[in-house]
Amino acid sequence: MFLFKVLITPRSFEKIKDKFEEVFKEEGIEVMLNPFGRVLTEEEMRELIRDVDGLIVGIDPVTSKVLKNANKLKVISKYGVGVDNIDILEAKKRNIVVTNTPGANSNAVAELTVGLIINVLRKINLSDKKTREGRWDRFIGNELSEKTLGVIGTGSIGRRVIELLKGFNLRVLCFDKYPDYEWASKEKVFYVTLDELLRSSDVVSIHVPLTEETYHMISEKELRMMKKNAVLINTSRGGIVDEDALYRFLKEGRISGAGLDVFEKEPPQNSPLLQLDNVVVTSHIGAHTEEAVANMAKLAVENLLLALKGREPLSRVC
């Protein structure tokens, strides 16, 4: 007999589900996996969440409409860090515990960020594409060494990016709503205003959560401040960058390039950004490494079990 029913939506969790089979059995948990093998729609979530006690969720929508159908839900355990796909106010109203997995995927996202930076600067994707087409174009890129890096958001991912890039002897400028001057002094990096960061940086890398405050925080006004040879990297959330404005600036050569792991609408069907040679795109794979998946799954399950038992989870959002 099962004590709890749990819905698990992330597709990558399915690959490691056997590691938790014994734990779920011991705790009396009936597991329901994502039946569609993709990100679920709001309507699908509404149907699946009925009579469920716990939810381990990735980027599937957990809206007010979904939660109104969650008649037994006690905990939402986010498999990841950003909770912008979860209606936190509605969850609070219904006394549903929300948790996440901070730090579990920081290295994975930071490493992808570094890869995108070098890829965009050296035009690796473009050279690969043209070579496969039978052309031997000798593209001239830019070196990263001795340049200025601007990091927007100095949480665990932003800091890890800075750490990984230390060998390039960069001048590092940072912007954060809550600056940590002690850390900055130790790491020899500098907190500045967002405007100064944009005007001075050769590479701008975004590492903030998507909130009402950060929605389109990089739009036409901000892009206008950037150097013509600067590149923009976003491995955070798509809504932070105004994609229409970014497209215009890239198309017109008003900034040099962009590396994007995230889009405002995913998958980005018919996005004009996909047609540009100076844009490198990946399919929101920042956290998708064997190591990060294992870390996120472990913490997500621990948070879920603690909350279902009425105990304090390890990383509570609300």
For the residues 304-315, what does the mean pLDDT come to? 97
Is a pLDDT exceeding 80 seen at residue 151? yes
Q: Name the burial class of residue 263, with classes exposed (0-12), middle (13-18) and buried (19+) by CB atoms within 10 angstroms of its CB.
A: buried
Architecture of the 106-281 domain:
3-Layer(aba) Sandwich (3.40)
Q: Is the whole-model pTM more than 0.85? A: yes
Q: Report pLDDT digits (tens) over 286-307.
A: 999 999 999 999 999 999 999 9
Percent of the chain with pLDDT over 70: 100
Catalytic residue, candidates 46, 160, 207, 237: 237
Catalytic residue, candidates 266, 290, 312, 316: 266
What per-residue confidence (pLDDT) applies to 72? 97
Percent of the chain with pLDDT over 90: 96
Supply the mean pLDDT for the chain: 96
Is a pLDDT exceeding 80 seen at residue 244? yes
Q: pLDDT-derived band of residue 217, with 50, 70 and 90 as boundaries?
A: very high
What per-residue confidence (pLDDT) applies to 16? 86
Does residue 199 have an active-site annotation? no
Give every strand in the sheet of 257-260, ordered side by side. 190-191, 171-175, 148-152, 203-206, 231-234, 257-260, 279-281
What per-residue confidence (pLDDT) applies to 18? 86
Q: Report pLDDT digits (tens) over 15-68.
A: 888 899 999 999 999 999 999 999 999 999 999 999 999 999 999 999 999 999
Does residue 311 have an active-site annotation? no
CATH of 4-104+289-308, one of 3.30.70.1070, 3.30.70.20, 2.60.40.150, 3.40.50.720: 3.40.50.720
Is a pLDDT exceeding 80 seen at residue 264? yes
For residue 284, how many C-alpha atoms fall within 13 Å in the half-sphere facing its CB? 17
Catalytic residue, candidates 159, 207, 284, 288: 284
Domains 4-104+289-308 and 106-281 share a fold: yes
Is a pLDDT exceeding 90 seen at residue 1? no
Q: Report pLDDT digits (tens) over 3-14.
A: 999 999 998 888
Q: Do residues 281 and 232 make contact, with C-beta atoms less than 8 angstroms apart?
A: no
Does residue 266 have an active-site annotation? yes
Q: Do residues 63 and 282 make contact, with C-beta atoms less than 8 angstroms apart?
A: no
The residue ranges of every structural domain in the chain are: 4-104+289-308, 106-281
Q: Report pLDDT digits (tens) over 187-216.
A: 999 999 999 999 999 999 999 999 999 999
Q: Report pLDDT digits (tens) over 80-132.
A: 999 999 999 999 999 999 999 999 999 999 999 999 999 999 999 999 999 99
